[in-house]
Amino acid sequence: MNRTDLLNVDREIAKRSLSEFVQMGWPVLEPAEVYKHNWHMDALSDHLMAAAAGDSAMNRLLINVPPGTSKSSKTSVFFPAWLWGPFGAPNIRFIGAAHEQGLATRDNRRTRLLVESDWYQERWPTKITSDQNEKTLFENDKRGFRQSSAVAGMTGKRGHFVVWDDPQNPESANSDVSRETSLRIFRETLPSRLVDPINSVIIIIMQRLNQDDVSGYILANELGYQHLMLPMEFEPHRRCYTVVKPTHFKSEKVRGRYLGAKQRWFLEGDEVPDDLAPVVERLEVQEVYNQDPREEDGELLFEDRFPRSVVDRDKKVMGEYATAGQLQQRPAPREGGMFKTADFEIVDAIPHVVAWVRAWDLAATKVNRAKRTKGASKAAFTAGVAMGKTADGRYIIADVNRFQENVGKVETKIVNTAGQDVQRYKGIRGSLPKDPGAGGKAWATTLITKLAGFSYRATPEDGDKVSRAQPLAAQVENGNVMLLRGAWNKDFLDEIGLFPASKYKDQVDAATRAFAELVNAPTFEWYVSGDDDE
């Protein structure tokens, strides 16, 4: 077989399979990295190819997979190059968006490197125009282009394919403001960026971060997206079905209804719970195929890259809440919320060696805001958590002081508590939040002044409530946080067990601040609690 014949074979193989194209082109972009193939990559390929083929059922596609499973490389790098070359549509206009410009530009640049490579050009000659050849936008001589954009700046150009890869930064996924911004862009901006409102394709691909993220909105509102959902560990009751026939394993066509809000398919003959029956009965019956060949509960998605030892290690660090969203694509644990109350050990005595912090969550700013917007007259809660770090690296919450008072009484109670703390917890330090804005900073300064003689400091909050709580949640999950038995236990456990869906979050906020101070502040004095302690 001569060189021309070999090139023709490559062209035909790549035309028939995006997955094969990725494997062929991988060394061009990753010459030092060994390619590891897995069946889920074939599933991604099947769905992207179906969207390219013009199937009307596939012009809205939602893909939820864990991080590190080649979703960006497949969808945002190789797919646009496949459309221009093997698929034979160099006129395609492709917009790739991400939550920040840097990530979108990265994938745009990698697509350009692939298209301009000798390997690609020998098989699919494509001329990139000299007057439009940039990292963020390059165009070919058939007027097809590949553009990168931070979604917030996605204006002007329109695409045949608009791919939104990770709509939201994981660090801000639980920020109401950030999440609502992403949803507004999804609702108001994406639909207007299409060349053809009828046939152009929108693809959302992401790891799940919050119940109310873009994926959650799509599923809850039944927006007609085909949903390819592949969790890190298989859960049989959440088996994934779509209208696409798999190429990587045998799958029979079945009929069923998809309740997106529950991420659950009800096939013909399945028993539907009474409380869901009215909702399920009104859903469209679809002819679909199983997309997940796994059978055993807990079976891993990509064992060659993420073996059991690695998954278990990462789950231990991430905690249950992050694991449920980012790995399992169901951003709420099977049992409750971010914290399991059973993971707290309740003890009757304080361990002998500890460093102490009393951290506060202050109500004043929240009270003023509530009065302005809701006419509230009753003060919000203020909470102070006394937490210690033991010699063996565990943590104990010894006291929670929680009350509803006006600003003047809040200040008095905090000062009185500081006086009691120095008698009970040797070497204790205190921590106050410094809310943004002049009012919050001024009040923090006032409190620090009134606490003269005590070791207190005020620092601003960093990130949203859920992100701040995740390090503490990981320690709780691993059995490293104790509670000293007391009358406050029930209220504390009730709140933290429902967090972040709890009505109040003051005790969790205070506990999170105390934990962060113990972990991050290098200046705390350590002492041995002994006979001199009462």
Task: State which of 193, 212, 236 marks the end of a domain.
Answer: 236
In three-state secondary structure terms, 256 is strand
Residue 262 resides in a domain: no
pLDDT score of 36 more than 70:
yes
Predicted local distance difference test score (pLDDT) of residue 175: 80
Burial of 494: CB neighbours in 10 Å, binned 0-12, 13-18, 19+: middle
Residue 312 resides in a domain: no
Q: How confident is the model at residue 333 (pLDDT cuts 50, 70, 90)?
A: low
Residue 279 resides in a domain: no
Same domain, 384 and 523: yes
- What is the domain extent for residue 215? 3-236
By DSSP bridging, strand 527-528 and strand 254-259 are unpaired
Predicted local distance difference test score (pLDDT) of residue 531: 35
Per residue in 377-387, pLDDT (tens digit) is: 345 799 999 99
Residue 86 resides in a domain: yes
Q: What is the mean pLDDT of residues 110-133?
A: 93
> Cα-flanking dihedrals φ and ψ of residue 329, to 5°?
65, 30
Q: What is the mean pLDDT of residues 11-18?
A: 97
Per residue in 182-212, pLDDT (tens digit) is: 999 999 989 999 999 999 999 999 999 988 8
Q: What is the mean pLDDT of residues 413-421?
A: 97
Task: State which of 179, 211, 236 marks the end of a domain.
Answer: 236
Predicted local distance difference test score (pLDDT) of residue 525: 45
Q: What is the mean pLDDT of residues 452-467?
A: 90
pLDDT score of 533 more than 70:
no
pLDDT score of 244 more than 60:
yes
Give the span between the Cα atoms of 17 and 330, in whole angstroms. 30
Return the CATH number at 53.
3.40.50.300
Predicted local distance difference test score (pLDDT) of residue 57: 85
User: In the chain, what percentage of residues exceed pLDDT 70?
Assistant: 92
Give the span between the Cα atoms of 303 and 511, in whole angstroms. 37
* Strand ranges for 323-414 from DSSP E: 345-347, 353-361, 382-390, 395-403
pLDDT score of 347 more than 80:
yes
Cβ contacts of residue 482 below 8 Å, gap of 6+?
Answer: 344, 345, 346, 347, 394, 395, 396, 397
Give the span between the Cα atoms of 366 and 443, in whole angstroms. 13
Predicted local distance difference test score (pLDDT) of residue 527: 36
Return the CATH number at 487.
3.30.420.240
Residue 216 resides in a domain: yes
Q: How confident is the model at residue 532 (pLDDT cuts 50, 70, 90)?
A: very low
Type of residue numbered 485: R
Q: Are the C-beta atoms of 338 and 466 separated by less than 8 Å?
A: yes
Residue 183 resides in a domain: yes
Name 151's bridge partners: none
Per residue in 313-322, pLDDT (tens digit) is: 998 888 777 8
Q: What is the mean pLDDT of residues 373-400?
A: 81
pLDDT score of 159 more than 90:
yes
Give the span between the Cα atoms of 442 and 449, in whole angstroms. 11
pLDDT score of 534 more than 60:
no
pLDDT score of 375 more than 80:
no
Query: How many other C-beta atoms can be found within 10 angstroms of the C-beta atom of residue 142?
Result: 14
pLDDT score of 506 more than 90:
yes
* Owner of token pair 């106050």: 432
Residue 11 resides in a domain: yes
* Owner of token pair 């991050």: 520
Mean pLDDT, all residues of the chain: 89
Task: State which of 215, 236, 257 marks the end of a domain.
Answer: 236
Tally the domains of the chain.
Answer: 2
Per residue in 213-232, pLDDT (tens digit) is: 999 999 999 999 999 999 99
Q: How confident is the model at residue 307 (pLDDT cuts 50, 70, 90)?
A: very high
Residue 305 resides in a domain: no
pLDDT score of 336 more than 80:
no
Q: How confident is the model at residue 474 (pLDDT cuts 50, 70, 90)?
A: very high
